[in-house]
Structure 1
Amino acid sequence: MRWTLKEQPNTETTLSLAKALNIDKTLAILLVQRGITTFNEAKKYFRPSLNDLHDPYLMKDMELAVKRIETAITNNENILVYGDYDVDGTTAVSLMASYLRTIHPNIATYIPDRYDEGYGVSYKGIDFAHDNDFTLIIALDCGIKAIEKVAYAKEKGVDFIICDHHKPGKEIPKAVAILNPKRVDCDYPYKELCGCGVGFKLIQSLGLKYNQTIEDLAEYLDLVATAIAADIVPITGENRILTYYGLEVINSNPRNGIKALINKLNKKQLTVTDVVFTIAPRINAAGRIKHGNYAVELLTEFDFDTAIEVANNIEQFNSDRKVLDKSITEEALQQIKNNKEEDNYTTIVYDENWHKGVIGIVASRLIETYYRPTLVFTKSGDKLAASARSVKGFDVYNALEQCSDFIEQFGGHKYAAGLTLTKENYLPFKQKFEEVVKSTIDKELLIPEISIDAELNLMNITPKFYRILKQMEPFGPQNMKPVFKATDVRDNGFGKQVGTDKSHLKLNIIYGSDRKTYNAIGFGLGDKLHSIQNEFNIAYSLDENTWNGYTSLQLVLKDIQ
């Protein structure tokens, strides 16, 4: 692992903030690193308020979108709420459909079939709308590149409102309204909303027409927080406020679908991490293994017993997904070895029998072994489809753009993308992508990085320090849980490997003249047992550990030097 210490802010600024807030200097360093330098900024950070959300009408085309929906309601039109099959898409559809049904009866939902229709707006979906007398489609988490499809819909008498957050191309569709803060002509102050977040801004605008306050709409924030967590968007600005209050809803009064999923967890208070690793994979499993409709059905269900039944089905899909993901990862790793590609700058693997629903997860798994930009291909109709994942600091979307001669279509973000190409272009693409990455990537990026916020002497860890640290939640991209460094620590001699496969490391670390002991756990660090015979350095974060009803602070080790 490559340890890098984040830039340490100006001492004067740090000390001034520490004094103003009456907090430890290390905590002040963490705040300044996050752009917080004054008492008032800190107050907004530690006490997020729904009143600090931006006026939704600052978003380009919002007025047009609201007017078109009002016209549809006045004329008793049928509205189809359309969205992608992943967590962001299905939560966005559930949010929009749930809200619109409170003001208009003629609402239906549509999630494209991952295998039959593929990602985003489909001709089949538009035909469905036309054949069933829907005159307005509200597309969520997709549509920004659907130029021909929106034109096709217009010919059929079907209007589009697009709520998307993906990067627009040079041209955008001729829809009635396109809500996307990443539009170059959109002055909306916060650019990092997810698809469900953009959908929430639309219902916030509609709510103003019906004299609803932001508090009246807070019940929808369990969906928004789930989407933000799953879509790995920055938890800053508006996203942080929406996640903060969304987690409150999840932990106090979630909708029946989320309650049914939580029902299976032995946990009282869910964090962003719990949402990412427990709720999101289950919602995703519906679209991966069966159909995204199951997720929307779950998230819009009023009856708890019915929600439990749907959640049980989804649980089975998730179990099936785990089996597939494990077996395909093993096959892919073998393929890399067989092709003698361990020393490449990229990982590109293909098998026509791999399940399209899990190739994105497999790509992430392969990065755990070979830390480099990765694409996993499978057969999709008469084409090949791939999921791309990247390493921290490398823009895989830009790299794919440089290979566009071999690609039929692609879309996505800096760290995750999807694409299709013809079978004959697979090998030329593979060669070109390897060349592009080899010539553009900083070689340091091929070594996993631990980004350390600050050095923290273990003796400075107090209950007050941890209490304030916890108030920095919710953690996530650009507001990650702080990682600290401590030097010259020792194990008390009872360090051991734990876990069924002995893959984890349990230590009692002693430090300082008073030889105070600190409990530490290092997940996946079992093979580091030999590194703790003498003094060593640790990269770690802080967490609580509850055992036999007793809760104590523990160090969660990230790495040992």
Structure 2
Amino acid sequence: MRWTLKPKPDAATVDSLAKTLNVDTIIASLLVQRGIETYEQAKKFFRPSLEDLHDPFLMKDMDKAVLRIENAIANHENIMVYGDYDVDGTTSVALMSSYLKTMSPQVATYIPDRYDEGYGVSYEGIDYAHDNDISLIIALDCGIKALEKIAYAKSKGIDFIICDHHRPGDEIPDAVAVLDPKRNDCEYPYKELCGCGVGFKLVQALASNKGQSIDDLMLYLDLVATAIGADIVPITGENRVLAYYGLLVINENPRTGFKAMLSQVKKEILTITDVVFIIAPRINAAGRMKHGLHAVTLLTEENLETAMQYASEIEMYNNDRKDADKSITEQALTQILHNKEEDRFTTVVYEENWHKGVIGIVASRLTETYYRPTLVFTKSGEKLAASARSVKGFDVYNALDACSDHIEQFGGHKYAAGLTLFEEEFESFKQKFEEVVSSTIDKMLLVPEISIDTTIELDQITPRFYRILKQFAPYGPGNMTPVFMTEGIKDTGHSKCVGADQKHLKCKVQKNGVVIGAIGFNLGAKRDLICEKQTFKAAYTIDENEWNGTVSLQLKLKDIN
């Protein structure tokens, strides 16, 4: 691990904000680092308001999309809501279809089969629409690059509305409306919405034309918050407002499908992290192991008994997913060692029988192990399909773009992407990808970084300090959980390794008479650094520990030196 300390913000700005808000300078400093320098900005940060959401009609083509949907409903057309099979896609379909069904009964849903159709808009989906007399398809979380497929649909008399958030190519598809804040010609003020977020803006626009207010749409925000967390988009600006209110819905009035999934969970208040690690994997498991429509069915089900049935099926898929993920990760690690590829700048592995549904998770695991831009390939029909994951600071999408001569199709984001290629191109692609990454990556990025917000003393960690810190949530990219560093601390002498395989470190640290408990996951091997009252420094976040009904603050160690 390399530790980097963020630059100290301007002292005068910090002091001024601390006085204005009546908070200590550590809190003020954390706020200034996040671009919050005035009372008004702090108010918007600490008290997110639905009134801060932008007018949906600022998005290019929104008026065209709304008009086409209104006409379809007035003329009793059949509408198909089409979305990808991941969390963002399935929550988008659940959101859009359930809202449209309040206006028309003629609404169908469609999720492509991960294995037969692959990612995004498919010819099979368009043929299905044509066979079922569907004249309008609303595509969510996909479609921005589907030029030929949109043209094919048009030739069949089917209109498309695209709601996407991926980067467009050089050409925009010839659809009735293309909603994507990342379009160069779109002046929408916030560019970082997820697919479900773009879908929500369309619902918001439809609702405003019907005289409905944002309060009438609150019940859909649990889906939007789930997609924001799962798709790892920045939790800033509009996403922060949507995530904040979505979490309120999840905690106070969850939809029936969420209730069913959470029936075994013993947490009183769910955070965005819980959504990412408890709800999202279960929604994803349906598309990974069986079919994404199972997730949509659960998310839109209103009968609790039926939802419980669906949830137990999805729990089964999730357990299958865990088993596949574990065994494929082990095989991939063996392959890397066998091929003596630890010294490369990239990790690229391939096995034709690997389960396509879990290669993205395996790519993430390998990235954690070797900390390299990573690709995991498997056979998919006539082609090879891969999931790409990157390391912090390196744009894997651009790297794939530089290898496009060898790729059949690709899409995605800076840190996660997917691609297909023909088997005969595999070796050439692997070589080219290594060349591109090795010549463009800053070598520092190949060592995991702990980015520390500020140094702090143990006596500054008070209940009031933590109460204010909790209000920085929901956390995520652009507003990460603050990481602190304290130097010159010692263990009280009661440190021990805990966990089934003794991998975790539990201790109490002290400095200047202040003692506080600490837990370091996967830091058991570093216990020697703190034995015999040696002084050390720690990088950590702060959270609460509940034991026998008593709640106390503790340090969640990220690393010690």
TM-score band w.r.t. shorter chain: over 0.9
Query: Match for residue 530 of structure 1?
Result: 528
Query: Match for residue 287 of structure 2?
Result: 287
**8 Å contact from structure 2 (residues 181, 187) kept in 1:** yes
In 2, the alpha carbon distance for the partners of 1:525 and 1:367 equals 19
Query: Match for residue 145 of structure 1?
Result: 145
Query: Match for residue 516 of structure 1?
Result: 514
1:138 deviates by 0.3
Paired AA for residue 259 in structure 2:
K
Asked if 1:311 corresponds to 2:311, the answer is yes
In 1, the alpha carbon distance for the partners of 2:155 and 2:549 equals 65
In 2, the alpha carbon distance for the partners of 1:80 and 1:150 equals 14
Query: Match for residue 99 of structure 1?
Result: 99
Paired AA for residue 54 in structure 1:
H
**8 Å contact from structure 2 (residues 540, 559) kept in 1:** yes
In 2, the alpha carbon distance for the partners of 1:532 and 1:229 equals 36
SS in 2 for 1:521: strand
In 2, the alpha carbon distance for the partners of 1:229 and 1:516 equals 36
Paired AA for residue 527 in structure 2:
L
Query: Match for residue 5 of structure 2?
Result: 5
SS in 2 for 1:238: helix
In 2, the alpha carbon distance for the partners of 1:41 and 1:478 equals 15
- CA deviations on 1:402-427 (whole Å, 9 max, x unpaired) are 11110001000000000001111100
Query: Match for residue 19 of structure 1?
Result: 19
SS in 2 for 1:265: coil
1:8 deviates by 1.2
Paired AA for residue 536 in structure 2:
F
- CA deviations on 1:163-219 (whole Å, 9 max, x unpaired) are 000000000100000010000000000000000000000000000111110011011
Query: Match for residue 461 of structure 2?
Result: 461
In 2, the alpha carbon distance for the partners of 1:250 and 1:464 equals 26
SS in 2 for 1:379: strand
- Any residues of structure 2 matched to 1:38-57 within 5 Å, and which? 38-57=38-57
In 2, the alpha carbon distance for the partners of 1:262 and 1:398 equals 39
- CA deviations on 1:54-87 (whole Å, 9 max, x unpaired) are 0000000000000000100110000000000000
In 1, the alpha carbon distance for the partners of 2:147 and 2:172 equals 6
- CA deviations on 1:239-289 (whole Å, 9 max, x unpaired) are 000000000000010111111111121111100000011100000000000
In 1, the alpha carbon distance for the partners of 2:395 and 2:503 equals 32
Superposition TM-score, scaled by structure 2 size: 0.99
**8 Å contact from structure 2 (residues 221, 246) kept in 1:** yes
Paired AA for residue 535 in structure 2:
E
1:123 deviates by 0.2
In 1, the alpha carbon distance for the partners of 2:505 and 2:131 equals 60
1:338 deviates by 0.6
In 2, the alpha carbon distance for the partners of 1:178 and 1:441 equals 34
Query: Match for residue 541 of structure 1?
Result: 541
- CA deviations on 1:480-531 (whole Å, 9 max, x unpaired) are 000000000000111110111100000110111xx22100000110001011
Query: Match for residue 491 of structure 1?
Result: 491
Query: Match for residue 244 of structure 1?
Result: 244
- Any residues of structure 2 matched to 1:213-252 within 5 Å, and which? 213-252=213-252
Long gaps (5+) in structure 1: none
- CA deviations on 1:298-354 (whole Å, 9 max, x unpaired) are 000011110110000000000000000000000000000110101111000000000
Superposition TM-score, scaled by structure 1 size: 0.99
SS in 1 for 2:228: helix
**8 Å contact from structure 2 (residues 354, 378) kept in 1:** yes
SS in 1 for 2:119: coil
In 1, the alpha carbon distance for the partners of 2:337 and 2:500 equals 28
1:547 deviates by 1.2
Paired AA for residue 382 in structure 2:
D
Paired AA for residue 560 in structure 2:
I
Query: Match for residue 74 of structure 1?
Result: 74
1:463 deviates by 1.0
In 1, the alpha carbon distance for the partners of 2:494 and 2:81 equals 59
In 2, the alpha carbon distance for the partners of 1:151 and 1:369 equals 43
SS in 2 for 1:185: coil
In 2, the alpha carbon distance for the partners of 1:500 and 1:352 equals 34
Paired AA for residue 178 in structure 1:
V
SS in 1 for 2:551: strand
In 2, the alpha carbon distance for the partners of 1:175 and 1:244 equals 33
**8 Å contact from structure 2 (residues 458, 514) kept in 1:** no
In 1, the alpha carbon distance for the partners of 2:29 and 2:21 equals 12
Paired AA for residue 501 in structure 1:
D
- Number of residue equivalences: 559
In 1, the alpha carbon distance for the partners of 2:429 and 2:375 equals 11
Between 1:235-244 and 1:455-464, the stretch displaced more is 455-464
SS in 2 for 1:540: strand
Query: Match for residue 37 of structure 1?
Result: 37
In 2, the alpha carbon distance for the partners of 1:367 and 1:489 equals 32
In 2, the alpha carbon distance for the partners of 1:55 and 1:367 equals 39
1:24 deviates by 1.0
Query: Match for residue 448 of structure 1?
Result: 448
SS in 1 for 2:171: coil
In 1, the alpha carbon distance for the partners of 2:29 and 2:207 equals 40
In 2, the alpha carbon distance for the partners of 1:113 and 1:12 equals 57
- CA deviations on 1:220-253 (whole Å, 9 max, x unpaired) are 0000000000000000000000000000000010
1:356 deviates by 0.3
In 1, the alpha carbon distance for the partners of 2:401 and 2:69 equals 36
Long gaps (5+) in structure 2: none
